[in-house]
Amino acid sequence: MKPNLTTWLVVSLFLLVIAAAANAKTIYVDADAAGGSGTGADWANAYNYLQDALTVADADDDRGVGKELGEVFGQVQNLKYGSANGEIFFAVFDILRGDQWLDFEEAREIASPLTWVPLVYRGPFDKDKILEFAERDSLWPSAKHYREGVVVKPIHERTDRKIGRVQLKVVGNRYLSKS
């Protein structure tokens, strides 16, 4: 059964994890969740809106650690990233503490026990390299397909007064041209 587009987008883009070395808490968000308690405790009781989950996470987060934002991979997408038999997995790509995104090193240190999306390149900004990396095959073990693309962000978080947070997603042409 193929999930509808709304479910695919929400499930694949938003799963919120409260980071704590010894006591991680996962809050589930799914726009199509219905009939559950809306507590975010599991998929059946998921919040319908990411902002609701973030508000609760802020209230519950007395440790000052932060929220990890990531992506759900596997049988919820057309690219399966090596998953089989309906397997779904989560990988972290960012951490938000309050209203501040953490720098790369601090984020990796805080959430070191969790699975992170693969690091493709670390170095000076190079447009040609980034475009090349977006077209390569996936780095996930056992994934036998191309990448969706790459996310480009600075090692030290910063904002621009016109565009806000400095971050870029480059989607590969192979992914864009998929049938």
Tell me the CATH number of domain 1-117, given options 2.60.40, 3.30.70, 3.30.470, 1.10.3470: 3.30.470
pLDDT at 1: 41
Instruction: Sketch the domain layout of the chain as residue ranges.
Output: 1-117, 118-179
Chunked into runs of 10 residues, the chain (179 residues) has average pLDDT values of 39 37 61 78 80 66 54 64 74 81 88 83 93 91 85 92 91 83
Predicted structure pTM score? 0.60
- Reduced to 3 states (helix: H, G, I; strand: E, B; else coil), residue 29 is strand
Cβ–Cβ under 8 Å, residues 80 and 88 = no
pLDDT at 66: 56
Residue 128: beta bridge partners?
Answer: none
pLDDT at 126: 94
DSSP state of 54: H
pLDDT at 108: 87
